[in-house]
Chain A
Amino acid sequence: MQSFGLYVQLGFEHISDLAGFDHILFLVALCAVYKIEQWRRLLILVTAFTVGHSVTLALSSMGTITIPSEIIEFLIPTTILLTALHNVIGKPTGETKSGMGKNYAMALFFGFIHGMGFSNFFRALLMGDDNIAMPLLAFNIGIEIGQLMVVGFIVGIAFVFLNIIGTKHREWNLFVSGIAAGMAVLLMSETKFW
């Protein structure tokens, strides 16, 4: 296997790894409360998250920004908790344009934090290789492929519950956000750095 393919695989496995499920859980909290009819908004939301994590993955991998990994490992479940709380406490998904604008901004900002988490893993893979452009691109492509797969799966599950089984949106939102929030609190207690 050439290195490009290897890094694509590593990026894909990193985000889709069930053993390290924090990024998946964030995507669940971010996406599962949207109905399939809201796919355009969901697409923009996921793109905002992608832009955010791509920027900090690159900057952090190049050493432009440095934040201790233990802080990032704590902040990642914090983003899950805040997203889950926002789902429940905030206005229903996308009722207003300004409301969606806040959601996009939140996804972008939380993407910055997750990107630094990705870079902590990515930097460990680099063994003093000066040219990180190719591995970085490949790793990011792998993450995007994995992310698309995870989001597709989440939207599919939401479609089954909301459109086929007929679960009420509010109940579904509370169920998904409640699970995400509970797991986020557990992760936060495990990654507490002080």
Chain B
Amino acid sequence: MDVREALLLDPDNTELAFCQPNESDKAEPMLMEYLDEFFYVKANGQLLDLRIKSKKLSGEGINTALGVTFEVGGQEALTSLEIKNAVFTDLFFDQSNIVYVHNDDDSNSLMLNKETPVHTLEY
């Protein structure tokens, strides 16, 4: 079972048990492997090494959404943040992904999709 199958066809499956207390050890590495292909964040032009801080499945049925939180610290002043989120846009033409960016007291929300998978925030 790959991560797309697990999340899309059977989010409550017991094999990987995404976001459940009994989540499989394989679940998060599989998710990161998938995200590495479709998601990235570049700070000041440098690709960030992302690690999952938390994740959550919300909603139910066809309205199920997966939320993943990353937290990255750094001393360097942030001048730009380039974000790509093309998750599931290969499967659904109308897939939209929401990205919330919190930098100190500044917050931004982005909606990325197949047409516009990448956005750059300037600081």
Contacts and interface: CB of A to CB of B under 8 A. Distances in A.
Interface string A62-100: 000000111001000000000000000000000000000
Contacts of A161: none
A124 interface: yes
Interface string B88-123: 000000101010100000011111000000000000
Contacts of A19: 94
Contacts of A73: 61-62
Contacts, number: 59
Interface in A1-18: 1-3, 5-6, 9-10, 13, 17
Interface stretch (A26-34, A102-110, A125-133, A143-151): A125-133
A50 interface: no
Contacts of B60: 68-69, 120, 124
A9 B61 contact: no
Interface string B53-95: 0001011111111010100000000000000000000000010
Contact of A121 (B56, B59, B94, B107): B59
A128 B64 CA distance: 14
A125 B65 contact: yes
A61 to B, nearest CB: 11
B21 to A, nearest CB: 16
B89 to A, nearest CB: 14
B107 A3 contact: yes
A123 interface: yes
Given A1-B108, A9-B111, A128-B56, A70 B61 contact: yes
Contacts of A5: 109
B63 A123 contact: yes
Given A2-B108, A19-B94, A69 B61 contact: yes
Interface residues of A, number: 22
A18 to B, nearest CB: 9
B111 A6 contact: yes
Nearest to B64: A124
A120 B65 CA distance: 11
12 contacts: A1-B110, A1-B111, A6-B109, A9-B111, A13-B96, A69-B60, A69-B63, A120-B60, A121-B63, A123-B63, A124-B64, A125-B59
Given A1-B109, A69-B61, 8 more contacts: A3-B100, A5-B109, A10-B111, A73-B61, A124-B58, A125-B59, A127-B67, A128-B58
Closest 10 pairs (CB-CB, A-B): A124-B59, A127-B67, A124-B65, A6-B109, A124-B63, A69-B61, A120-B63, A3-B109, A69-B60, A121-B63
